[in-house]
Amino acid sequence: MIHRRISNLLNKRHYGWAIFGLAFTNLTAEGGMKNSAPVVFLALRDHFGRSAAATAGIFSVAGLTGALISPFLGKLLDRLGPRLLFPAGGLFILIGYLASSLVSDFWQLIILYGVVATIGETTVSSFTATASLAPWFPHSRGRVLGLADAGNPLGQGMFTPLTQLLISAFGWRFAFRIIGPAFFLMVAPANFLFQRRPPVPPSPTEETVEEASAALESSGSMQPADDSEAQFPERPVARAAIRKTSGQIQEPLRSATLWCLVSARCLAAMGTNLTTIHMMAFFVAAGYSELQAAYTIGAVGLLSLAGRPIAGAISDGVGRELVYTVGLGMQVSAIVLILLSGDGQRLWPMALFVGLSGLSDGISGLMVGAKAADVFPARS
């Protein structure tokens, strides 16, 4: 009953903004999961007494899992729709975190945290948010996707320091039992109640049919005896359009543009993940405390709240490619700055790191997603 009333209220406005709110919340949860990994890395390394390389194996499995399941999740998104897929992702997150908090052996974390929880995280990540949100805003994709993607750094700013505080006070197991259900509650209920499939622009065939129907109606050739019995479909679909579906799917797979976008996303994600997982240890090795490192990573997320919308809006004007290139250059510069100037005493390198990273954080996913929506718009 409540769901119906709220939906009726939102129907009076542009429902895309309701989808925007859901995407923003999903990305907040995803950002909290992804960016608390450096904190979790140190806690797991110290608890199990494994080497940094062995502990990083958990997160390497997570990255590989995300890469392998993304195509299948895209197909499930088309088939099931976001209303069912996103709550299922929240359930994977809940199971992964709660089960991980009960493990007794290191290998169990590889399965439960590295695979199960990662399936949930990938389900609500930026690529599914782009696919479900972009069609609602065909004329301002970059700006809207940038605003929605600001949820990711908000999650980083909220959950990275919180996870470190929980681990320091109560241990990593207790932290998992708190943040896992929190992520689930952020993702599952609202998406199940209010999520909808994105609108699909009519194909040329459908537009022709609709225009012909309107012309016949205006000429009086299609006047029913009783208006109440006139039941024209909202969007007549030609049978030929249905037969074209498989061809429409195969056509992008033969495009060099698609594989360039895939390569750009994969290479950027590889570099980002390799550095993100070790970021806490990187700052500690430079002489800074764990809490200083956690707050620095959180500050990057807070600054990115402004950086991502700005990058999205700029990309609408100057192009996705330029913003992508400049953003990755800023990320590399931030790491080199700490390598050359970070000594554990001076704070200005940390401040510059926050500025460079915060204004470029998440650029690759945002720009590749927006470019993909530009080149391969939704089809009927």
Q: Per-residue pLDDT tens, the chain, 380 aa: give them.
A: 555 655 554 554 578 899 999 999 999 999 899 888 888 988 999 899 888 888 888 988 988 898 889 889 989 998 999 999 999 999 999 999 999 999 999 999 999 999 999 999 999 988 888 888 888 887 777 778 878 888 888 888 889 889 989 999 999 999 999 999 999 999 999 999 999 887 766 554 544 445 545 554 554 544 444 443 334 344 444 444 444 444 555 566 667 777 888 887 777 777 777 787 788 888 888 888 888 888 888 888 888 888 878 888 888 888 888 988 898 899 899 999 998 988 888 889 999 999 998 888 877 777 887 787 787 775 54
Q: Is the pTM of this model over 0.95?
A: no
In the chain, domain spans: 2-199+246-375
Dihedral of the alpha carbons of 92, 95, 100, 102, in degrees to the nearest 10: -170
Q: Alpha-carbon distance 312 to 142, whole Å? A: 4
CATH, domain range 2-199+246-375 = 1.20.1250.20
Q: Residues near 87 by Cβ (< 8 Å), separated by ≥ 6?
A: 187, 188, 189, 191, 192
Whether 194 contacts 20, CB under 8 Å = no
Whether 89 contacts 183, CB under 8 Å = no
Return the SS3 of 161: helix
pLDDT at 376: 73
Token pair recorded at residue 271? 């570099």
Write down the H helix ranges in the chain.
Answer: 2-11, 16-35, 37-48, 52-80, 82-100, 106-111, 117-123, 126-133, 141-149, 151-170, 172-194, 204-219, 239-243, 245-253, 256-277, 279-285, 290-318, 320-341, 348-360, 363-375
pLDDT at 3: 55
Query: Which of 332, 134, 367 lies closest to 260 in space, CA to CA?
Result: 367
